[in-house]
Amino acid sequence: MNPNQLIYAGNLTPKETWERLQDDPSAVLIDVRTPEEWAYVGVPDITSLGRACMFVPWLSYPTMAINKDFVAQVLKTAKPRSNDTTILFICRSGYRSAFAAHALTEMGYSNCYNVAFGFEGDLDSQKRRGTINGWKISGLPWVQS
């Protein structure tokens, strides 16, 4: 599917995502990157808001096949209170998380958002992430194992 054909509530910048998490105590943040990315690149840290980021991979490494159990795993992990619970999806750059937001929207969840630019952001002129936009460069809390 063409990313421009995806349907979900919208894109939020990382700072807008942080504000939404601050303002809405029932909102959940789901990181859809792979376990390898979580371990080696780092993860958003929202513990200062009294909750934790949740982790459900959209794709499986190394084949990068779509996780066929993704929706069920999100619902089991996030336990949204209702179909209008705010569910925020983040990945490396905002691509996989857009597909994740679309998948939950198709299941009847109306407040699914993509975190634009993701955790690491767009590539710069030297083909490196983490220097232009994204969660990390925005100065938002994150941790690395």
Q: For the chain, 145 residues long, give each residue's pLDDT as a single digit of tens.
A: 777 789 999 999 999 999 999 999 999 999 999 999 999 999 999 999 999 999 999 998 889 999 999 999 999 999 988 999 999 999 999 999 999 999 999 999 999 999 999 999 999 999 999 999 999 999 999 999 8
How far lies 68's CA from each of 38, 60, 62, 64, 132, in Å?
20, 10, 15, 12, 33
Output the CATH code of domain 11-143: 3.40.250.10
pTM: 0.95
Residue type, 47: T
Here the tokens at position 145 are 């194992």
Tell which residue, 59, 9, 42, has the closest CA to residue 120: 42
Domain limits, the chain: 11-143
CA distance between the termini of the chain: 34
The conformation of residue 11, written as its DSSP 8-state character, comes to E
DSSP class of residue 4 equals G
